[in-house]
Chains A and B, each alone.
Chain A
Amino acid sequence: MILGMIVGNVWLDALIRLGGVALLVPLYMIIITWTERKVIGRLQMRLGPMRVGPYGTLQGLADTIKLLTKEDLRPTTADRWVFELAPFAIVVPVIMALVALPFTADILIRNLTLGLFYIVALQGVSIVGFVMAGWGSDNKYALIGAARAAAQLISYEVPFILSILAVAMVASSLDIGVIVGMQGDTPLIAYLPLAFVIFVIAGLAELYRQPFDIPVAESEVVGGPFVEYSGIRWSMFQLGEFVSMVLISILGSLIFLGGWQWPVGGDVPVVVQIALMAVKTSAFILFFIWMRASLPRLRIDQMMAYCWQLLLPFAFLQIIINGLVLAYDWPHWTMTIMSLVALGAFVYVTNRAARQSGVTYQPSAASAQRVGSVL
């Protein structure tokens, strides 16, 4: 009877599902922080955290205690309310976006008919938090970081939305459940390889992760908008970043990689669905971590030019290809071929731009030795 009451009452139902998410988020934070430090450590030929617990697994717990018991500092010249409210402005939209994100066919909070649009809309709100943090801190590094963050996020927002739009065109729906349902035998990455690549690159930029960590670059602006934040307040920014990372990873596996259906179809036990989603999502997260370890940071002019002169025109190209195929009812494989050709052109132009835009430095044996002796 109690179960019936819970299912019947939309308030209780939502409260219980969201309560589960609220419990999972801190746990997830501890796991992902450990994974990231460990993977980065191994990629840099270090061990990573090893001291707290077996193989350093309890490191996150120790960090949480440390952050909770740290003195909360606020500069005396800071704009008090803007400074204090910035962590809210970063975390709350991310938690709100989780509402529309299903994990499997049954594990979800609510399937919104405009789910995709809703997630995209909330994705753009987090910039307000960054600008608030930068402006409120009364710190020059923070202000520069906030201006850079604003420029980067709004620029990459456009190709990000357009790549999602390409998905919505093929699926004829903004409902994520429907989009996954129509990918039963062929995931959308097969039809839209170009949109997928643009989604991953723009997603990386939306997360401010390397090579797009210009707003929060330690060696340029000392951590950007959150220079002045310490203790648990700082960790709220970290929480926002990590939760949006999992958000984009889940979104990518749902709309491009076939979610919980492909390649086994819809009629499988929940365990298999969870395993499928876990594998796809982890692949995205590990890719993001890998990129952090192996790519150098872009310059800000390269970053902006790359978005407006390359990503944006190619995102429109994908939209036009989709429109052409769908409007004239051509078979879907024509979309694959055109998208692949466009992807080839995209890679070629990117490669050429990368070779032109800097001094190509090829050290001779002697100069390499000289550099080595200095280091």
Chain B
Amino acid sequence: MASELFDSYVPVLIATILGFLLVAGALIGNFVLSPRQRTEAKGVTYECGMLPIGRSRGQVHFRYYLFAILFLIFDIEAVFLFPWAVTIADLGAQAFWEMLVFIGILAFGLLYAWKMGVLRWR
């Protein structure tokens, strides 16, 4: 059984290596074929032709983090839902109502976030 499981993920390993080789091959081809004439101006980042002021290590608005937290909650919920979803046809009504409680709690969380204005992009 373990060997069978291993066998079915061998292509995944090969695909990973192949993906790296694909990108590396393109980059090596570019390295061989392309001209290289570095000038100082070519190393400046693009800012509509102006010289950039300062580095772009600025802060990102915190609303991005709020959405990231919301995403984390619902993504983990989706992971919990997958085993339930595959077996719901056999488990019957009780499993459905139990999962509905779980979804309900999270839906309440979403409603609370909505009410507090987290979902509004300001």
Identify the A interface with B (CB < 8 A): 10-11, 14-15, 17-19, 22, 25, 67-78, 87-88, 91-96, 98-99, 109-113, 117, 124, 137-143, 147, 150-151, 154-155, 157-158, 161-162, 165-166, 168-169, 172-174, 222, 227-228, 231-233, 235-236, 300-301, 304-305, 308-309, 312-313, 316, 319-320, 322-324, 326-328
B10 close to A (CB within 8 Å)? yes
- 5 A-B pairs with CB atoms under 8 Å apart are A70-B34, A139-B52, A158-B71, A166-B85, A316-B103
- B88 to A: closest C-beta gap in Å: 5
Contacts of B105 in A (CB 8 A): none
Query: How far, in whole Å, are A95 and B42 apart by their CA atoms in the complex?
Result: 32
Residues of B within 8 A of A300 (CB): 121
Closest to A122 in B: B12
Q: Which residues of A contact B10 (CB under 8 A)?
A: 10-11, 14, 110
- Chain B CB within 10 A, most for which of A67, A73, A166, A327: A327
Q: Which of B6-41 contact A (CB under 8 A)?
A: 7-12, 14-16, 18-20, 22-24, 26-27, 29-31, 33-37
* A17 near B67: Cβ-Cβ < 8 Å: no
B42 neighbours in A (Cβ, 8 Å): 71, 73
CA distance in complex: A93, B15 (Å):
9
Which A-B residue pairs are the 4 nearest by beta carbons? A301-B121, A76-B43, A95-B19, A327-B96
Given the known inter-chain contacts A155-B71, A157-B71, A320-B103, please indicate yes or no for A169 contacting B88, CB distance below 8 A: yes
Please give me the residue from chain A that is nearest to B60 by CB atom.
A147
A169 engages B85 (CB within 8 Å): yes
Residues of B within 8 A of A18 (CB): 11, 14-15, 18
* A91-B23 CB under 8 A given contacts A138-B56, A169-B85, A228-B45: yes
Number of A-B pairs, beta carbon distance below 8 Å: 217
Q: List residues of B whose CB falls within 8 A of some A CB.
A: 7-12, 14-16, 18-20, 22-24, 26-27, 29-31, 33-37, 42-48, 52, 55-58, 60-61, 64, 67-68, 70-71, 74-75, 78, 81-82, 85-93, 95-96, 99-100, 103, 107, 110, 114, 119-122
Closest to A160 in B: B78
Determine whether the beta carbon of B56 is less than 8 Å from that of A110. no
Knowing A157-B75, A232-B29, A319-B103 are in contact, say whether A304-B119 is a contact too (CB < 8 A): yes
Are the C-beta atoms of B56 and A140 separated by less than 8 Å? yes
A139 x B46 contact (CB < 8 A): yes
Docked Cα-Cα span, A215 to B76, in Å, equals 25
Q: From A158, which residue of chain B is reached at the shortest CB distance?
A: B74
Instruction: Choose from B33, B78, B88, B107 the contact partner of A327 (Cβ within 8 Å).
Output: B88
Neighbour of B87 across the interface among A150, A172, A305, CB < 8 A = A172
